[in-house]
Structure 1
Amino acid sequence: MRLIVGLGNPGDDYAHTRHNAGFDAIDDLAEQLRATYWKTECGALTAKVKYRGEELILAKPQSYMNVSGGPVKQLCATYRIAPADIVVIHDELDIDPGTVRVKFGGGLAGHNGLKSIADKLQTKDWTRVRTGIGRPPGRMPVADWVLSLPKKEARDDFDQATHLAAEAVLFLLENGLEKTQQRFN
């Protein structure tokens, strides 16, 4: 069993903002895998699906981004999932819009959602699908950038990146980390 977590903030005010790239990618995965039933458990919205015989739990923590580690830890405990069997999809400032990068472990790039997960799990050893949103223009504060809705062509890049993130997860499950990095990085 694997846990696929999309990071974001709950509520309509944050829907489809750059910071909710993980939620949008999970929604894409859920549609592709025909998830029909969502429930609230362990502080997250979850759907169980099967992909090529493997059971997956798709999750969108319903706490705010900076405390998303709590629901992730609870899901791991409930389903006895090891950190190595977690895939976290999240927004990434240092990656060009419209692209994704996949990695296992490593630094957290100042991302508060990742910091929370690392703190609660006491490890950084899980897979990340980093969804590019780019840096804010000019002197726009980062918080304003990540919590804003992409407009016009930036919307196309954002939608492309969240779809690619979903595709990267499926490719990862079929082909492993190295081949996924070769294809998507």
Structure 2
Amino acid sequence: MYLVVGLGNPGDKYDKTRHNVGFDIVDLCEKKYNFNINRTKFKGMYGETNIAGEKVIFLKPQTYMNLSGESVRSIIDFYKIPNENIIVIYDDISLEVGRLRIKTKGSAGGHNGIKNIIAHLGTDVFPRIKVGVGEPTCDLVDYVLGRFTAEEDALLEKSFEAAAEAVKVMVTQGPNEAMNKFNSFKAEK
């Protein structure tokens, strides 16, 4: 069993912001893998599907970004999901828009959602898909809670598709294969 966690903030005012790319990619996976995020429990909204015979739960924590670990801890305790089967998707300001970076462990890198997940798991060893949102051009909070430009949207669509495909590769072939395939990915206009 796998858990795919898309990080973001609940509520319309955060919809389609840089900080919510995790939610957006889970929404895309919902269409691509034909399931519904229609259950509320574990301090989040979730749904499940099968990808190549593997049960995969997709979770959108509703705790707000900085407390995402509460939701993740709650669902993995219930389903007994091992850390190596948790895939977290989130925004990364150190990557340009249109880039992905898949890792199996690492620090939070200043990302408060990841920092909280690490605190609740007691380890930084879990797979993740970092989605480039570009370097801040203004105050960090204003930047990550801001929306993308029309030009960036074209790149995002391609990187979101790649991230949704990376989830499937991680589940079916493992994170190393996904790193080989997607860490050099760069969306073109």
Same topology, TM > 0.5:
yes
Q: Which residue of 1 aligns with 2:31?
A: 31
The amino acid across from 1:89 in the alignment is: I
Residues 1-185 of structure 1 correspond to what in structure 2 (within 5 A)?
1-36=1-36, 38-137=38-137, 140-185=138-183
Cα deviation digits, residues 68-127 of structure 1 (max 9, x gap): 100000000111111111000000011110111100011211100000000011111110
- The alignment covers a number of residue pairs equal to 183
For structure 1, the 5+ residue unaligned runs are none
For structure 2, the 5+ residue unaligned runs are 184-189
Question: Which shifted more, 1-10 or 171-180?
Answer: 171-180
Length-normalised TM-score, structure 2: 0.94
Length-normalised TM-score, structure 1: 0.96
CA distance, structure 2, for counterparts of residue 37 and residue 107 of structure 1: 29
RMSD after superposition: 1.0
CA distance, structure 1, for counterparts of residue 97 and residue 120 of structure 2: 29
Taking only the aligned residue pairs, the percentage that are identical comes to: 36
* 8 Å contact kept, 1:22–1:162: no
Please state how far the C-alpha of 1:37 moved relative to its aligned partner. Answer: 5.3
* 8 Å contact kept, 1:136–1:145: yes
Please state how far the C-alpha of 1:178 moved relative to its aligned partner. Answer: 1.6
- Structure 1 residue ranges, 4+ long, deviating more than 6 angstroms after superposition: none
